[in-house]
Structure 1
Amino acid sequence: MSSTSPSERTSLLPNGDGRNLSESDNSFLHRTSALLKAEGETSHYDSFMFFVFGSWVNVLLVFVPMSVIAHKLDWDAALRFSFSFLAIVPLASLLGTATDQMSAKLGQTLAGLLNASFGNAVEIIVGIAALMQDQIVIVQNSLLGSILSNILLVLGCSFLAAGMKFKESNFQVTAAQASSSLMTLACITLIIPAAYNSVKPPVETLLTNPLSVNPGVIDPERWSGLLIISRGTAVLLLGVYVAYLYFQLKSHAYLFQADTENQEEEEPRMNIVAASISLLLVTIITAFCADYLVASIEEFADRYHIPKPFIGLILLPIVGNAAEHVTSIWMALKGQMELTIGICVGSSIQIAAFVVPLLVVIGWISHHELTLFFANFETIAFFASVFLVNTLIQDGKSNYMEGLMLLTLYLVIALAFWVS
């Protein structure tokens, strides 16, 4: 763009009479442009430049075309898995950026709905891709792994990081307890199908791996019961989640408001049109990369002797939650523990009460029989994790020792799934 001032050049824009604009008219245009910029309007060019070059992690976008090439040329499973794995890291970050930029332009209610829909877009996309390929084990493990990653790994790292800087951190107890109570409800809904399967008298012998359940393994009567319980529970959980959004955004919004007295509010760096286009494009690209990733998991796991549960519960969630890891720890270091709790526990609630039921309903519609029946080991690990988190946040305070406890439990679970 030229730096010549309006008075030093001849305007080429005609006015209504067909004459060139005068200097005063031209000055009016510049004042209007300055006013729009002052009101937070950002050009499309600046918006997309910020979107693409706003983070160092976007360097990994080079793996997006590499993932496509590796898949099309049928390279080794390790390369296909690794390229798709690394490609999703910046895509997850970009999805979060586009969602945040749109949320900043929308009202509180619309922003909440947008975050509910796209806050865990990677988990939804990977889950749908695996579901369409009948990889039920991967769907269940990746979703459960995302919950455990948020409430143990991310929250644990945040507590530990904050504890290294502050002797003790405080947060709003009532909001944290409301969130943890909903997590407990979601945990119970996963226990009930497992309990039903345990007490129901078996007609046929189960295989050694309960996660591989299907109508050919469990007798039709018990399988039908599991489907009814799972689908009915999924609908109820979606209803509870809608009520929770109203509770969080409207009726009891004051409980979830962070202390922003000493915090500067950041202005949006993207306009609404650029953010919408970016969100759509990245969602489509992520869908392809997720499909390639899921398609390579089985061969990768078999060839290199890596347990599939470990891939689903540990590796995939780390990719999907990469952006949340950084944001949560950064907020904790700034003393914004309400935001940290909101990111970690809130994201887990989105998965447990929104994403999991949503995928059950999608499977119901698409005739892929996904249930809420997890194996006993996964169910116990989930229950133990929720129990520990609820215990630690009851007093509204955190320290580095509590973060160490959460990380220890996460590493123990990871070790257990590595040898499973």
Structure 2
Amino acid sequence: MADPGSPIQAVSLPDASVMMPLLNDRRQAQPQDQTSQWQPVLRASHEAWHALNATLRYSYSNVLLVCVPLGIYAAEHGWNPAAVFTLNFLAMFPLASILTFSTEQLAAEFGSVIGGLINATFGNAVEMIVGISALKEGEISIVQSSMIGSILSSILLILGTSFFCVGVGKQTVDINIDIAGILTSLMIISCSSLIIPSALHIADQGSHDANHFANDYILNLSRTTSVILLIFYLLYLFFQSYTHSHLFTEEEEEDEQGDKLNTWSSSTVLILATLGVAVCSDYLVDSVDGFVEMLGVSRSFIGLIIVPIVGNAGCYVATVQWSRTGKINLAVSVIVGSTLQISLFVTPFLVIVGWIIGKDMSLHFDTFETIALTMSVLIVNCLVRDGQTNYFEGVLLIGTYVVIAIAFFVTPDSAITSVANLA
């Protein structure tokens, strides 16, 4: 027993962590286990929310996403063809924008060669999907017109608008003559290859068995030409991405977007957008006949003017923005590159697809379409090859496109068909 008069001695107690190890383990292990268990779910939820947020904020056209379910509902419940066509047409704008966004994200994740292949496959996915849908329905004339229309829209309307935007307030604007020369030469060669079957059919107009020639030899020539054009495009990708990549990376687009998606998020968005385009394009093509009858417009006008608006909407907005900030070389490269994708990849690809599914699509275009394409390519080549441009050249290109659009709007299909038959 301690002496009462002695000072109180401090009693040392064991550490609390030693006294109650089990209690601490229960208090700490439980939350850690729960957190580690839910981490993958939380991470996936965060990635999904980030992908959704970035996709919706990519373009103002996403406000039209409401037209996707409306267009499907209208088609399934028998609304009038004009409403079905209009709703699904409007629905294609945000879907095309989302396709562009996801394609850019995926291409940025891989190297230049793989990225080029991704852009080649999905950069014009809208045109390919709409073309395949029209092929399945036997709407070969709409497929052919949409291919010509997409090229005309790129080299006349979009390029003209870019020249106008960059040239306002300036005497002249310099263009990289090396890139312009290479791309315009490729454009002339590719478009010339496209119209050779049509020119051969016109040259055979005096033959007694012209119908047999058109239905047999022209078809075989078109398929052979399509295979050659696809080989040309693969070599062009190799040229652009590997052997002469320095020519195409002289001026790169500044990274203005902070939103970046990982590979899985980009792939998911791409797949969903592709499915949406496929569904809406089917309903769009199915309603063409009723739309033509109700409004009295020609089918050639729909294929040449209306359908390309959807596929080129994203390119139009992007190139105009680049031109306004002075990036005219980048705009010209993208515009002519898109034209090469249509002429060297999408069009021959659709000919091969038609061959596989038993739909005889050839490269025999209408005479007026062939003339319009030839003159437009020559005009663009003359304007670009000198390495300079101004706003007036842009006005000339836009005016040429408007004249062609009016010509197809006022000309009925019967007149175009009769001219083609006479040829």
What's the TM-score, normalizing by structure 2? Answer: 0.85
Report the CA distance shift for 1:265/1:56 in structure 2 as closer, same or farther (over 3 A).
closer
Which residue does 2:242 correspond to in 1?
Answer: 250
Report the CA distance shift for 1:370/1:14 in structure 2 as closer, same or farther (over 3 A).
same
Which residue does 1:226 correspond to in 2?
Answer: 218
Alpha-carbon distance, 1:154 to partner: 0.6
Matches within 5 A, 1:95-244: 95-200=99-204, 201-203=206-208, 219-244=211-236
Alpha-carbon distance, 1:48 to partner: 2.0
Inter-partner Cα distance in structure 1 for 2:28 and 2:145: 65
Find the partner of 2:275 among 280, 284, 297.
284
Find the partner of 2:358 among 363, 367, 380.
367
Inter-partner Cα distance in structure 1 for 2:191 and 2:326: 29
Inter-partner Cα distance in structure 1 for 2:318 and 2:245: 22
> Structure 1, residues 275-312: CA drift from partner, whole Å, max 9, x if none?
10000111011001001111111111122111111111
1:332 aligns with 2:336: no
Inter-partner Cα distance in structure 2 for 1:395 and 1:266: 34
Inter-partner Cα distance in structure 2 for 1:370 and 1:14: 63
The letter for the 1-side match of 2:401 is Y
Name the stretch that deviates more: 169-178 or 379-388: 169-178
Q: Percent identity?
A: 40
Write out the 4+ residue segments of structure 1 that deviate beyond 4 Å after TM superposition.
9-15, 262-268
Report the CA distance shift for 1:13/1:360 in structure 2 as closer, same or farther (over 3 A).
farther
The letter for the 2-side match of 1:317 is P
Question: Which protein has the bigger helix share?
Answer: 2
Inter-partner Cα distance in structure 1 for 2:211 and 2:139: 21
1:272 aligns with 2:276: no
Inter-partner Cα distance in structure 2 for 1:327 and 1:54: 12
> Structure 1, residues 46-98: CA drift from partner, whole Å, max 9, x if none?
12221123322101000001111110111111101100110001111110011
1:297 aligns with 2:288: yes
Verify the 8 A CA contact 1:48 1:270 in the aligned structure 2: no
1:73 aligns with 2:71: no
1:408 aligns with 2:413: no
Verify the 8 A CA contact 1:256 1:338 in the aligned structure 2: no
Report the CA distance shift for 1:277/1:256 in structure 2 as closer, same or farther (over 3 A).
same
3-state SS of paired residue (1:63): helix
Inter-partner Cα distance in structure 1 for 2:48 and 2:82: 39
3-state SS of paired residue (2:365): coil
Alpha-carbon distance, 1:14 to partner: 4.6
Alpha-carbon distance, 1:13 to partner: 5.9
Inter-partner Cα distance in structure 2 for 1:318 and 1:12: 58
The structure that has the greater radius of gyration is: 2
The letter for the 1-side match of 2:208 is V
Name the stretch that deviates more: 264-273 or 135-144: 264-273
Inter-partner Cα distance in structure 1 for 2:322 and 2:29: 49
Task: Give the alignment's Cα RMSD to 1 decimal.
Answer: 2.3
Report the CA distance shift for 1:398/1:202 in structure 2 as closer, same or farther (over 3 A).
same
Verify the 8 A CA contact 2:230 2:349 in the aligned structure 1: yes
In structure 1, list runs of 5 or more residues that go unmatched.
1-8, 22-28, 30-35, 37-41, 205-217
Inter-partner Cα distance in structure 2 for 1:311 and 1:264: 36
Name the stretch that deviates more: 265-274 or 277-286: 265-274
Which residue does 1:389 correspond to in 2?
Answer: 380
Inter-partner Cα distance in structure 2 for 1:333 and 1:350: 25
Verify the 8 A CA contact 1:194 1:373 in the aligned structure 2: yes
Verify the 8 A CA contact 2:251 2:330 in the aligned structure 1: no
Alpha-carbon distance, 1:11 to partner: 7.3
> Structure 1, residues 205-227: CA drift from partner, whole Å, max 9, x if none?
xxxxxxxxxxxxx6334421001
Alpha-carbon distance, 1:169 to partner: 2.4
Inter-partner Cα distance in structure 2 for 1:327 and 1:221: 44
3-state SS of paired residue (2:96): helix
Alpha-carbon distance, 1:267 to partner: 4.9
Name the stretch that deviates more: 251-260 or 147-156: 251-260
Verify the 8 A CA contact 1:63 1:86 in the aligned structure 2: yes
What's the TM-score, normalizing by structure 1? Answer: 0.85
The letter for the 1-side match of 2:248 is F
1:344 aligns with 2:344: no
Verify the 8 A CA contact 1:258 1:339 in the aligned structure 2: no
Verify the 8 A CA contact 1:190 1:379 in the aligned structure 2: no
Verify the 8 A CA contact 2:54 2:259 in the aligned structure 1: no
The letter for the 2-side match of 1:271 is N
The letter for the 1-side match of 2:167 is G
Verify the 8 A CA contact 1:101 1:268 in the aligned structure 2: no
The letter for the 1-side match of 2:217 is G
3-state SS of paired residue (1:368): coil
Inter-partner Cα distance in structure 2 for 1:253 and 1:394: 21
The letter for the 2-side match of 1:304 is L
The number of residues matched between the two structures is 378
